[in-house]
Amino acid sequence: MRIAYCNVLPALLILQVTFILVKCTDISANLNINLDFSLQKFFTQADIEIDAKLKTVELIKKYKYPVETHFVITKDGYKLCMHRMPRPGAQPVLLVHGLMSSSASWVIMGPTNGLAYILFQKGYDVWMLNTRGNIYSKEHTKRGISDKDFYDFSFHEIGTIDLPSAIDLVLEKTKFQQIQYIGHSQGSTAFFVMCSEHPEYSVKVKIMQALSPTTFMEKTRSAVLKFMSFFKGALSTLLVKLGGYIISATSELIQKFRHHICPASELTSQICGTFDFVLCGFNWNTFNRTLTPIVIGHVSQGASTMQIHHYAQLHKELHFRRFDHGPTKNLIRYKSLKPPSYNLSQTQCKVVLHHGGNDWLASGSDVINLQKRLPNCIESRKVELESFTHFDFIISKDVASLVYNRVIDLVVTN
């Protein structure tokens, strides 16, 4: 039965995604999505073509901001890259990107709408982590390590190993006792994992702000994620079959999306390569089609298939739990048939939740579920624009006024 599932799933996935895109095309065919005036200060057509190809450091240098690159070796041998916009002596703020993203998330929208730039302009020492497996953190101390072994991780390892390593480095370099933390999507997931498994790190954070917090996934609206969760154990086999042990812009899974969906129409072709949007949702009302090359140039930056699988499990299990390896392996790893739930009550630092009304992953009820379990959630804020989606926290043309202004207020007052 598992073999049969894996043979038919690729075609079914393509049909599912095509339906999603056609639906979005129908409701947005008449939208005016020209380049917004507020972005023209930094984005000419030449800028767009150049920025789509630049790496994080090159983007920051292009706009005349200071930047440093730092590396930290984790206890299990991963070499993590961190990008810093340095202000020695200023309060350090750590930014952690979402699934399949990178440090570029915080700078691709330019000095007007990029959170890293805005924080630096306000006088903060900005650090951006690249979690294991993305394009900036693909090295390991073990030479010749296989893809199977290298990508044997989910957001659990990012939370239990990557984040503590990054926080320790920032505190060591800056001589501060505490950081401020801002995470988008998986950047928030991993943070709550860290606090559950290593609560001593909670006291090293003054305040944590979660942009689209993804923990409980019971009410997820991601049709693709819900579809994947249906197949449970067969999903890992499928994902490996389509893309090896990694999902990136060059993996077979992404190539299949592009081949089958891109020719559909001019509108869908603008986002055909963006698996991230198909998984998490998007909003044509706040998306500038002119900037599509920049967005596509900096998404699908690399993730393990286990990361996708872990999120799919969260929907099916209706709990915020560790990775489910199946009853037999669970007994060996966890001493129980089911994986243990993360203990959110260990999150002792101040927490602020920012969520959107049209977020396919972080639904309003799931965010409320999270809020109830946090002992020190000082604010849970729904973005005023009802159609605000998962990726609008990064790429919306109005993200500064709708989200970042409040984020900065909280940074300043804490």
What domains are defined for the chain?
A: 2-413 (3.40.50.1820)
The bridge status of strand 78-85 relative to strand 68-73 is antiparallel
Catalytic residue among 103, 185, 212, 304: 185
Q: 3-state SS of 300-325?
A: CCCEEHHHHHHHHHHHHHCCCECCCC
- What the block records as the tokens of 195 is 């606090």
Dump the DSSP string for 348-373. -SEEEEEE-TT-SSS-HHHHHHHHHH
Instruction: Name the nearest CA neighbour of 224 among 308, 101, 138, 310.
Output: 308
d(CA 399, CA 154): 29
Buried b or exposed e, range 84-105, using 16+ CB within 10 angstroms = bbbbeebbbbbbbbbbbbbbbb
Taking CA atoms, 393 is separated from 48, 155, 301, 355, in Å, by 20, 20, 18, 9
Q: What is the pTM of this model?
A: 0.87
- The percent of residues above 90 in pLDDT, for the chain, comes to 56
Over residues 243-283, the pLDDT tens digits come to 567 775 555 655 665 555 555 444 444 555 455 455 656 66
d(CA 393, CA 282): 11
For the chain, the straight-line distance linking the first and the last C-alpha, in angstroms and rounded, comes to: 55
Catalytic residue among 51, 390, 392, 396: 390
Residue 257 buriedness (CB in 10 A; 0-12 / 13-18 / 19+): buried
**β strands within 6-111, DSSP E:** 68-73, 78-85, 92-96
Taking CA atoms, 75 is separated from 80, 162, 269, 381, in Å, by 11, 9, 42, 36
185 is catalytic: yes
According to DSSP H, which parts of 244-304 are helical?
252-261, 266-269, 275-280, 292-297
Residue 235 buriedness (CB in 10 A; 0-12 / 13-18 / 19+): buried
Question: Which helix (DSSP H) or strand (DSSP E) does residue 46 occupy?
Answer: helix 45-51
Catalytic residue among 51, 162, 359, 366: 359
Q: What is the pLDDT of residue 56?
A: 96
pLDDT, one tens digit for every residue, the chain (414 residues): 444 444 445 445 544 544 444 444 433 333 333 444 344 455 677 888 888 889 999 999 999 999 999 999 999 999 999 999 999 999 999 999 999 899 999 999 999 999 999 999 999 999 999 999 999 999 999 988 988 899 999 999 999 999 999 999 999 999 999 999 999 999 999 999 999 999 999 999 999 999 999 999 888 877 667 666 666 655 566 666 655 677 755 556 556 655 555 554 444 445 554 554 556 566 666 766 777 777 777 776 678 888 988 998 888 777 999 999 989 999 999 999 999 999 999 999 999 999 999 888 888 999 999 999 999 999 999 999 988 988 899 988 899 999 999 999 999 999
The single-letter code of the amino acid at 393 is F
Q: What is the pLDDT of residue 26?
A: 39
Q: What is the pLDDT of residue 106?
A: 98
Q: What is the pLDDT of residue 144?
A: 86
d(CA 159, CA 174): 22
Q: What is residue 400's DSSP assignment? A: I
Q: Return the SS3 of 152.
A: coil
Q: What is the pLDDT of residue 156?
A: 98
Phi, psi of 130 (to 5 degrees): -110, 115
Residue with tokens 């603008």: 270
149 is catalytic: no
d(CA 414, CA 296): 35
Q: What is the pLDDT of residue 52?
A: 85
- What the block records as the tokens of 348 is 């002792």
Q: What residues have CB less than 8 Å from 30, skipping those under 6 apart? A: none
319 is catalytic: no
Q: What is the pLDDT of residue 134?
A: 94
Residue with tokens 């993730």: 303
Instruction: Name the nearest CA neighbour of 221 among 162, 176, 152, 281.
Output: 281
Residue with tokens 């340095």: 86
Taking CA atoms, 278 is separated from 19, 307, 384, in Å, by 10, 16, 24
Q: What residues have CB less than 8 Å from 183, skipping those under 6 apart? A: 95, 96, 98, 189, 190, 191, 208, 209, 210, 211
